[in-house]
Structure 1
């Protein structure tokens, strides 16, 4: 099918540039006063917008009640304070400066300088040279949003934002591949559709680097090849409606959505198309060791058995174990099954023609094995963390998680800080008990010593026998004892102080 309305689009773009608002070098913006440069109709604006506790520079729909951001400059840099300035310098550079004129950040890179800048009604911000040729445009560097008249050609990527209010690079991306397929991937993964892609549209057999994504003013979203033939329609064509604007955005949840907004009704954005069909298909939505499930078509993130959420306010933070295992002995663990869950199969060992019980036992006997995936007689041993998890009732995979028994789990469910405090308490108690034992030992020693000295003194007080300084047992003659006791008037016998032997007496203590 041939496209007949391209000349109209080109004429429209030329006309738009002719009536554009022109920004000359020497102009500048500040976050609180003169904060943006609007398009001729006032629908779009380029400049500062509020983000968090500071300000970011970008393009947003200024002509509607919901000021929606469609492009952000240097999106991964932190917001700037209110004393910063966006300066279109005399030499034609677009830079972000502090109040002191330092910490300059160049927002647009191109050879030479620009003679003028314009915010177009298409949502495209352009820099022009002295012959009115475009030397830089925001359409060539998309962030998370794709607008009508914009082309997404091979190698170009849209990255989701972290959240609706934080436009930093998020977890998902939309790629126009060189083979002509439009595909969705988790950020940071190789471009391997069968392993990592979670949605795609296109037609096989296209010439390399030949296909582009296009969006029309009427909301028609399609793929066009080099012969100007539509090879894939995501939405149908229609008649443009005055006052209705469209945008295609890869949202923070990894879903690709086409939105429409009727400026005549001043209402809300409406989703007219989305992909993929299942909100749990975006891989990595629930982070490591977490899996996505649907509850009344809404996403909920669940953790593996004996795991808990790292941050309940951020589902993408994933899950972590809520116990500490002290040993890898197989009798200290059990295998906990989780049914109908799909994960990335990043195995290090495969066992075929086995049963679920044998799969679990094989993992128990392997200290390196922390989980296993069992399906159709095939067991794959896994290490943690598991990622890209989702529940799929049509999939028979059983996820087996190694969890500790009650004798293995130490300080279960206690926060890390509590565990540290507990170990410190044990140390303090141990030292205190040792010190108390030493004190008791010293007091006992003193008591025994005094008791023995007192015993010697008792004997000495009955005569003139002199005791030595040591407290070892002493020997007395019969005559000495007779003298001390007054002729044995006080008979000594077997008792507390020892035994008397005729001829020689030994007193022991």
Structure 2
């Protein structure tokens, strides 16, 4: 067997170094599971994924809902069609370029459209919120330095309840307007004033009760 040429002896180490660099660069650019104050992401960045849960089961970022229209959402990472589990601005999509989600220095997280108009907020300004985390449960949370949850997406579901997510007296689940649509539909699931879980159809021409569930506590889950 012939000995490798001097050029081969030089190229092989260089190629190995390049491969290691590319792998390291890819790992460093992977989406984090948490953000600190001052972080932001704009529509049209290199990656529209803002956060990925530690197990990589859920992703959070900008979800395309139409021509030049985006929603800030959480979706199942493993599904090819990115099945959405939660949306912040389901009825108020933002424009495709220049819109931004920001975790501000004052502890608030806001979604602003291209012109700077705030279309959604966690209302946590002037709090001790110091990090945003996407948990393996699919829950997006804002925590203080002690780990206390100051805001969570589980408290404001859209059309989906995930495992471990409770439904309480302050929570209302609203159906999507159509298959693969994120906009609000006409069916609502919630506890009524009699502590009964009720499914209501509230359409443009008629509003009616469709179903009544078992008695439950309004101050807690099932």
For the superposition of Structure 1 and Structure 2, which TM-score range results when normalised by the shorter chain?
Answer: 0.7 to 0.9
Partner of 1:145: 160
Give SS of 1:139's match: helix
Give SS of 2:154's match: helix
RMSD between aligned residues: 2.4
**Residue 218 (structure 2) pairs with residue 209 (structure 1):** yes
* Structure number, greater radius of gyration: 1
Counterpart CA distance in 2 for 1:187 and 1:128 is 36
Alpha-carbon offset, residue 21 of structure 1:
2.6
**Residue 101 (structure 2) pairs with residue 89 (structure 1):** no
Q: How does 1:363-374 map to 2 (within 5 A)?
A: none
- Change in 2 beyond 3 A, CA 1:138/1:173: same
Partner of 1:196: 208
Alpha-carbon offset, residue 91 of structure 1:
2.2
Partner of 2:191: 176
Residues 10-53 of structure 1, C-alpha deviation per residue, up to 9 Å, x if partnerless? xxxxxxxxxx9321112212233232211111111121011011
Contact 1:30 1:85 survives alignment (8 Å): yes
Residues 362-413 of structure 1, C-alpha deviation per residue, up to 9 Å, x if partnerless? xxxxxxxxxxxxxxxxxxxxxxxxxxxxxxxxxxxxxxxxxxxxxxxxxxxx
Give SS of 1:170's match: strand
Counterpart CA distance in 1 for 2:159 and 2:47 is 26
Find 1:28's aligned residue among 36, 40, 48. 40
Partner of 1:359: none
By percentage of residues, which structure has more helix? 1
Q: How does 1:13-24 map to 2 (within 5 A)?
A: 21-24=33-36
Greater RCO (Cα-Cα under 8 Å, separation 6 or more): 2
Partner of 2:124: 110
By percentage of residues, which structure has more strand? 2
Contact 2:106 2:125 survives alignment (8 Å): no
Residues 110-139 of structure 1, C-alpha deviation per residue, up to 9 Å, x if partnerless? 352420000011010001122221110000
Find 1:47's aligned residue among 61, 64, 73. 61
TM-score, reference length from structure 2: 0.74
Find 1:67's aligned residue among 67, 82, 98. 82
Contact 1:160 1:172 survives alignment (8 Å): yes
5+ residue gaps, structure 2, are 1-31
Residues 216-248 of structure 1, C-alpha deviation per residue, up to 9 Å, x if partnerless? xxxxxxxx3xxxxxxxxxxxxxxxxxxxxxxxx
Partner of 2:23: none
- Change in 2 beyond 3 A, CA 1:155/1:137: closer
Alpha-carbon offset, residue 211 of structure 1:
5.7
Find 1:126's aligned residue among 141, 150, 167. 141
Give SS of 1:105's match: strand
Counterpart CA distance in 2 for 1:129 and 1:153 is 24
Contact 2:37 2:104 survives alignment (8 Å): yes
Contact 1:93 1:106 survives alignment (8 Å): no
TM-score, reference length from structure 1: 0.34
Range that drifts further, 88-97 or 36-45: 88-97
